[in-house]
Amino acid sequence: MTKPLLTISGLEGGYGDIKILNGVNIEVPAKSIVTIVGPNGAGKSTIMKAIYGIANVTAGSVTIHKDGVDHDVLATKPYNLSKIGIGYVPQIENIFSAMTIDENLDVGFLPESGKPLGELKESMYARYPDLVSRKKDRAGQLSGGQRQMLALARALMSAPDVLLLDEPSAGLAPALVDQLFDELVRINESGVTILMVEQNARRALEISTYGYVLDMGRNRHEGAGKSLASDPEIVGIYFGKR
């Protein structure tokens, strides 16, 4: 069997003495979209924070498998995660508001990716034409939808194998939510694997290869994205309103 690109195994941890994750197992096959859903406080963001050293890890492992080699993600300093192919768009504060749009893209650039800066930037502006006329504007002046596009573009500047997205649709107007999910499909089709956490559970699962329902820091349910999105029990318990 092919090893998944990213494997989270038996992950436990939290903040200080407070344990939030009680043994989380997630597999993200290469080229897939995998979504983690679950109630507020389930520990979804904490999984991403654990990977980035913002939350404590007390047990378990996170591995990225690429080019036949396993890399220990938890042993990798957060600022080196892009070098092993991981890009991250946090739930909040995911752009540098005081910097220009162009500078935000520069910050995301990773020389080790082997791709020229100019070429990567051109491809980002081609992908997000709204940003072209705003290159020299401070990122803080962008609208919510444009900010989210810039946050994605910044993360893509490191040419990641896998993007970790924490609530990419949060705070967006309904029309923009559709655009965002379309954009995630396009990013995935360009060869980037996606692991996301989403409140907009049904929409996210509909575009996902596979989904996990997390509750109280533990795996509760899992399955193909579309089947979870339409499973009456799961819809009723976890996201009946959406």
Residues near ligand ATP (CB under 6 A) are 15, 18, 20, 38, 40-46, 199
Q: Which of 45, 94, 200, 208 binds Mg ion (CB under 5 A)?
A: 45
Q: Nearer Cβ to ligand ATP, position 181 or 238?
A: 238
Two structure tokens written together for 193: 């694997």
Burial letters 60-76, b for 16+ CB under 10 A, else e = bebbbbeeeeebebeeb
The nearest distance, CB 70 to ligand ATP, in angstroms, is 26
Q: Nearer Cβ to ligand ATP, position 53 or 123?
A: 53
Q: Nearer Cβ to ligand ATP, position 104 or 208?
A: 208
The nearest distance, CB 134 to Mg ion, in angstroms, is 29
Who contacts 194 (Cβ-Cβ below 8 Å, separation ≥6)? 32, 33, 34, 162, 163, 165, 184, 187, 188
Q: Are 198 and 204 in contact (CB under 8 A)?
A: yes
Q: Nearer Cβ to Mg ion, position 32 or 46?
A: 46
Q: Are 38 and 214 in contact (CB under 8 A)?
A: yes
Q: Does 35 bind Mg ion (CB under 5 A)?
A: no
**Which amino acid is residue 112, in one-letter code?**
E
Residues lying near Mg ion in the complex (CB under 5 A) are found at 44-45
